[in-house]
Structure formats: structure tokens, C-alpha cells
């Protein structure tokens, strides 16, 4: 059990938020939880935490409020909507926002919370559900160094590595770079698997041969076999990556940069979402080749 005396609030118990909360509870942190769908708060893995009826209740008297929700609108509602966390936060606490949102929204949240004496860190994560369960996420942080020091015990439980990039918003900008890389690598693996299948190559052997060469990547190592089998176990939802890639393209546009590969993947994802595959893993990009003859 941890000797840390930090009291935590956690809002957002989705594919990443729930395992993060479980790890914090198991490490001994006093934790109070809220999720928009209250059923997500149930389960023996969360039994050590206090269930709360609203973000405001989850934020009451905490040292750190961890958010892991879907988008800008969700962060706005959780922090500043009716029953929002801003009603319960006290001066001196830190909002640790692990959501992936636009840099502008992160900066806006930080400015509004600072008027209340509350610090804000944008701290998006990468590593998927596997990393969230293992406590091995990579955390990309923007914000004040003293606030980062305050939440360090929390980050050491949920992440293997923590990287500080400067002011609020910088963490989200680095996450945008990450999502561009994810787009390209997953799309490339999907194309490569489709080509090998069409050529009727022994694809299990092909994948093993290529993992250790210049073409090796996380996507090849962890998602190629699922693509070949036509199964897409959830690591990160395609619909959420689509949202993140939109943020990346907006960031690129703000500095007059065109990203043609990312824009093509954005279009492919939109088409798959239109076919009902938005809740599948990003590796479902391989599905687009099922109908190509």
C-alpha cells in the first residue's frame, strides 16, 4: 500500500480511465469516482473507492482531480457545467487532465481554474488499454513544474514514463504528433497486410520476418496478427483516434502545414465509422480492404 496521503477524485471510467483508477485504488490512494454512466462505477475492482453522484462531489476536498474523458465538450461539462467539478474544487489542488483535447481548450481550462487558485495540467497519455492496465502509459505533460511535482505520486502509478514539455497546451501538441504517427503506422500495416494476403504469402512467417527489420513498429508487433485474422481487439477506439487526428490537422493548419497522409487516414476512418466500426480498435483500418477486389 502506498504511504502517499493524496486524496484523489477520478472522473471518466472508460477504456483508459477505469484501469487507471483501479491501479490507483490498488496502490492505496483514497479515491472517489464519478462517471457519466453511473453503471461504470460498479464492480469489485473499484470497490475500494467512494462512488459520487456528480463531478462536483468527486472533486470535493481532493488534492488531485484526474480527468479522462472523450473530448473538449466533455471536459467543459465535467469542469464547468451544472454539477461540475469547479463547484467542489478547493484552492491549492491540481486538475490532472489525461483527456486528449485541443491545446486551446486546455489553455482555456487552465486560465479559468487559475482564478480559483486551482492548477491545471494537460497530461494526455499514450499506450492504449494495454498500457493503462499495466500502469505503463507514457504521459505527456504541459503545465507548471510545481503542480507536476504535486501529482508525481499519481503519475508514477499510471505511467512508466512522464515527460514535461513546458506550458499548458504543450502536452496536447505532443499528443497530436503522436496521433499522426499512429495514423501513418496503422494505415501502413493495414496496407501491407492486405498486399501480403492478396499475394497469398505465408503471412505469419512474413510478419515474424519483418518485425526485426527496418519496417518493425509497435503496430506491426501488436496489431498485424489481429488484422490477418479479421479481429480488432480494442486498444484505442477508431472514433476517438479520428477525433484526435482532427485536432492534429487543426494544429497543423494553424502553422500552415499540410499533412496529406493524416488527411487520407482521417477520410478512411470516417468511412469506416459510417459503416458502424467506430467503436472498434484503430487497427480496423484493415477492414477497408475487405471490399476491395
**SS3 assignment, position 190:** helix
Distance CA(55)–CA(49), nearest Å, equals 15
**What is the distance between the alpha carbons of residues 217 and 206, in angstroms, rounded to a whole number?**
14
The angle at the Cα of 210, spanning 205 to 214, to the nearest 5 degrees, equals 175
* Beta-carbon contacts of residue 147 (< 8 Å; ≥ 6 apart): 94, 119, 120, 121
Specify the length of the chain in residues: 293
Q: How far apart are CA 152 and CA 161, in angstroms?
A: 11
C-alpha cell at 193: 497486410
Give the H/E segment covering residue 137: strand 137-141
Q: Is 133 tagged catalytic? A: no
User: One of 105, 175, 237, 243 is an active-site residue; which one?
Assistant: 175
Other C-beta atoms lying within 10 Å of the C-beta of residue 142:
27
- Paired sense of beta strands 159-164 and 119-122, if any: unpaired
DSSP, collapsed to helix, strand or coil, labels residue 66 as: strand
119: β partners: 94
Report, as residue numbers or ranges, the catalytic residues: 175
Amino acid at each position: 500500500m502506498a504511504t502517499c496521503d493524496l486524496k484523489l477524485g477520478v472522473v471518466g471510467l472508460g477504456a483508459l480511465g477505469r484501469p487507471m483508477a483501479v491501479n490507483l485504488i490498488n496502490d492505496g490512494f483514497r479515491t472517489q469516482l464519478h462517471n457519466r454512466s453511473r453503471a461504470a462505477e460498479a464492480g469489485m475492482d473499484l470497490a475500494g473507492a467512494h462512488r459520487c453522484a456528480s463531478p462536483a462531489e468527486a472533486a470535493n476536498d481532493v488534492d488531485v482531480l484526474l480527468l479522462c474523458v472523450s473530448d473538449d465538450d466533455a471536459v467543459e461539462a465535467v469542469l464547468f457545467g451544472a454539477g461540475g467539478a469547479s463547484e467542489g474544487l478547493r484552492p491549492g489542488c491540481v486538475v490532472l487532465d489525461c483527456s486528449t483535447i485541443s491545446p486551446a481548450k486546455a489553455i482555456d481550462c487552465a486560465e479559468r481554474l487559475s482564478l480559483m487558485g486551482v492548477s491545471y495540467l494537460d497530461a494526455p497519455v499514450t499506450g492504449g488499454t494495454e498500457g493503462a492496465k499495466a500502469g505503463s502509459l507514457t504521459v505527456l505533460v504541459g503545465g507548471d513544474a510545481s503542480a507536476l511535482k504535486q501529482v508525481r505520486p499519481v503519475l508514477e502509478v499510471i505511467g512508466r514514463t512522464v515527460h514535461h514539455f513546458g506550458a499548458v497546451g504543450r502536452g496536447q501538441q505532443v499528443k497530436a504528433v503522436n496521433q499522426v504517427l499512429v495514423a501513418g503506422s496503422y494505415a501502413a500495416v493495414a496496407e501491407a497486410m492486405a498486399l501480403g494476403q492478396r499475394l497469398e504469402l505465408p503471412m505469419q512467417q512474413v510478419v515474424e520476418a519483418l518485425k526485426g527489420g527496418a519496417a518493425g513498429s509497435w503496430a506491426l508487433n501488436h496489431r498485424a496478427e489481429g488484422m490477418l485474422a479479421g479481429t480488432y481487439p480494442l486498444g484505442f477506439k477508431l472514433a476517438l483516434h479520428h477525433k484526435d487526428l482532427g485536432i492534429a490537422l487543426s494544429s497543423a493548419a494553424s502553422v500552415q502545414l499540410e499533412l496529406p497522409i493524416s488527411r487520407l487516414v482521417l477520410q478512411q476512418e470516417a468511412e469506416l465509422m459510417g459503416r458502424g466500426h467506430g467503436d472498434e480498435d484503430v487497427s480496423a483500418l484493415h477492414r477497408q480492404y475487405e471490399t476491395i477486389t
